[in-house]
Amino acid sequence: MKFKITDSIDKNLSESKSDELNHIFAFGVFHGEENSFLKSGNFKKFEFIYKRLKRLDFKAKKGKSVLIESPVYSLIYGLDKKDKFNYDSLRSFIAAAAKTAKTNKAKEITVVIPELNGEYYIKKGLFYSAAAISEGAELGLYEFKKYMSAASDSKGKLKTDKDEKYPEVINIHFNGLKVTKDNVKTADEGFDFGKKTASAANFARDIVNEPGNVVNPEYLADLAAKISKESGMDCEIFNEKEIVKKGMNAFYGVARGSKNPPRFIHLTYKPKNKSKSKNIKKIALIGKGITFDSGGLSLKPADFMTTMKSDKSGACTVLAIMKYIKNFDVELEVHGIIAACENMPDGGAQRPDDIVKALNGKTIEIDNTDAEGRLTLADALSYTKDLGVDEIIDLATLTGACVIALGEYTSGVMGNDKDLISNIISTSQITGERMWELPFDDNMKEKLSSPIADLKNVGNRYGGAITAGMFLEEFVPDKAKWCHIDIAGPAFTKTGFNYNPKGGTGVGVRTLLYYLNQHKL
């Protein structure tokens, strides 16, 4: 897809008349401006829209839309009230326009964005707006049809026709923006950035959507090795014997019940143009990598076991970031760490009441085998001690309690450093990946106390997302700044929302790439 800024839609309109079914005009409309949005530009030829909207009693509430097919294909999309507009409003709008073009097999869209507040027209604002536009299109058009026989060939590859990709071109007209060389350059840079971040998110979605009989720990390890080879980064993979030898018994305890052996994955990115005189920041990204979670001997009910292929979402996010990080030229040393295994209930499986010793020497009483993710993360966090990292960010579909607390669209954020947490959350406000801080509370520490071990792996039913985070904190190396992101809610959607179709969302990929991109070469 090509994206470009246009200072007028007149040329697009005249070109569309020769092939009007191949071009869609999309107008973003603020609530309350349904009868006036065409007055702010040279749009007299579109005033037929007013009559249609009046007849339909259309209100431009969030996500509401109308498609008018004659005399010009025109999509009217509700942006809600102007004071609620943000970058994510653009993503949703563009996704809707792109999907409309695809449904109607239109190769070109001209998008008209109503006049925005000045912050969206300054350099940084325009860059993020352009990035949001390309992200909205790329993310909104994503499909996972690999296993649908009608959409795939005999080798499982999607049948695609390069001559029939809809849309091919998206023209963007910002009402009120003066189109200068500098603005075009900034927008083009933003479009390119958004394409990269969306590609990374879609890569993560692909892995999340793969079923457990395809993606197991060895699959993730092989994929990491492939990424390493393609990117020229270091990759260490520990097999079952090496995991036990290193003392990762919290992790190994979870893996014991599966015939598919565990793998511990460590990818390392180092900038090519590293300054010898400069100490660069080291960041560890850790992703929960349970390729399927049955609950172990604390077996999940059937309804709760479906979609548990998505329990590897954190790992998929980390792999996607490590695959694409070379495209962003960040001046960072980044470690991608995954403790990959299945949580299954065979005769060798870990039992409730078992006690395991983690890599950092702390002992854990197993109270519930379905609280397994924190056990794998405990050893992954402990592993970073010898890496000397400055920051650790982990992503995990960790607790149902976080979904109950924040809903299906918001991740819970916790940690030991307020500045890091604040930076991650403020970045998420740009990317539209909603995040909210949950507070640690020393009064809740007793919920994790055990009479026979250093701690147990679950508290009671109250504040479960917080006690899970506080459990993880016990394994964070001293002096390291740490942020835990519980992505249990938004990692996988059964219904789809905004620019996220049903399935894996790739949550966290864009926020962390935006965050890492703050450290440019």
pLDDT digits (tens, 9 = 90+) for 445-481: 999 999 999 999 999 989 999 999 999 999 999 999 9
Phi, psi of 362 (to 5 degrees): -75, 140
300 is catalytic: yes
Q: How far apart are CA 154 and CA 148, in angstroms?
A: 11
pLDDT range class, residue 398, cuts 50, 70, 90: very high
Q: What is the rounded average pLDDT of the residues 26-42?
A: 90
∠ Cα 91 95 97 (to 5°)? 120
374 is catalytic: yes
pLDDT at 275: 61
* Separation in Å, CA 260 to CA 123, 216, 218, 292, 294: 51, 7, 8, 11, 14
Q: Cβ neighbours of residue 261 under 8 Å, at least 6 residues apart?
A: 217, 218, 239, 240, 255
Q: What is the residue extent of each domain of the chain?
A: 2-198, 210-516
CA-based radius of gyration for the chain: 25
Do the domains at 2-198 and 210-516 have one common CATH topology? no
Q: Are 321 and 512 in contact (CB under 8 A)?
A: yes
Phi, psi of 150 (to 5 degrees): -70, -20
Tell me which residue of 141, 61, 150 sits closest to 96, measured CA to CA.
141
pLDDT range class, residue 154, cuts 50, 70, 90: low
pLDDT digits (tens, 9 = 90+) for 240-250: 999 999 999 99
CATH architecture of the domain with residue range 210-516:
3-Layer(aba) Sandwich (3.40)
- Structure tokens that stand for 108 in this block: 């070109």
Average pLDDT over the chain, rounded to whole?
Answer: 94
| 123, containing H or E segment | helix 123-140
pLDDT digits (tens, 9 = 90+) for 248-262: 999 999 999 999 999
Catalytic residue among 91, 374, 434, 447: 374
pLDDT range class, residue 163, cuts 50, 70, 90: very low
Q: What is the rounded average pLDDT of the residues 8-31?
A: 77
Query: Cβ atoms within 10 A of the Cβ of 302, count?
Result: 7
pLDDT range class, residue 326, cuts 50, 70, 90: very high
Q: How far apart are CA 31 and CA 48, in angstroms?
A: 19
Own/partner contacts of 420-427, CB < 8 Å, gap of 24 or more, are 420/391, 420/393, 420/481, 420/482, 420/483, 421/483, 423/515, 424/393, 424/483, 424/485, 424/511, 424/515, 427/511, 427/514, 427/515, 427/518
pLDDT range class, residue 14, cuts 50, 70, 90: low
pLDDT at 71: 87
pLDDT at 274: 65
pLDDT range class, residue 22, cuts 50, 70, 90: confident
Say which CATH superfamily domain 2-198 falls into.
Leucine Aminopeptidase, subunit E, domain 1 (3.40.220.10)
* The overall pTM is greater than 0.85: yes
Residue 411 DSSP SS3? strand
Q: What is the rounded average pLDDT of the residues 386-392?
A: 98
Catalytic residue among 146, 300, 326, 357: 300
